[in-house]
Amino acid sequence: MKDCVFCKIINGSIPSKKIYEDESVIVILDIEPSSNGHMLVIPKKHYVDFTELDDNMLIKINTVAKKMKELIYEKLNADGIRIVNNYGLQQVVKHYHLHIIPVYKRKQKLLNIDEIFEKLK
């Protein structure tokens, strides 16, 4: 969609901190993270919400989410993750995306997104 911020990130017209990309999804760091390493898994095809996704895309997104969980544990020493999908009123950007939010035992100061990106590369 022409005005979708995620579609613009996917086509390269808006920069992002890209952690992963393949033919069907990208993973970027959230620009307003709730914890260090907060990522978004975004399908490249524009879907408004999870009800539009076919089973193959849901499997693909979850497979990538598992890979990102391993990366977060390895590079950021997270103690857990939260996986969040907002729908309806809670969904700010109307392009399906899955939040992967690292959880830490000790409260952490939010680092600059560039610092987190460097750790995850």
Residue 38 appears among annotated catalytic residues: no
Residue 31: CB partners within 8 Å, gap ≥ 6?
113
- Edge-first strand order for the sheet with 80-84 is 18-21, 25-29, 39-43, 98-103, 80-84
Give pairs for 52-56: CB < 8 Å, separation 24+: 52/96, 53/96
Measured at the alpha carbon of residue 66, what is the angle toward residues 78 and 7, in degrees to the nearest 5?
100
Q: Catalytic one among 38, 95, 97, 99? A: 97
Do 65 and 53 meet the contact criterion of CB atoms below 8 Å apart?
A: no
Q: Which residues are catalytic?
A: 97
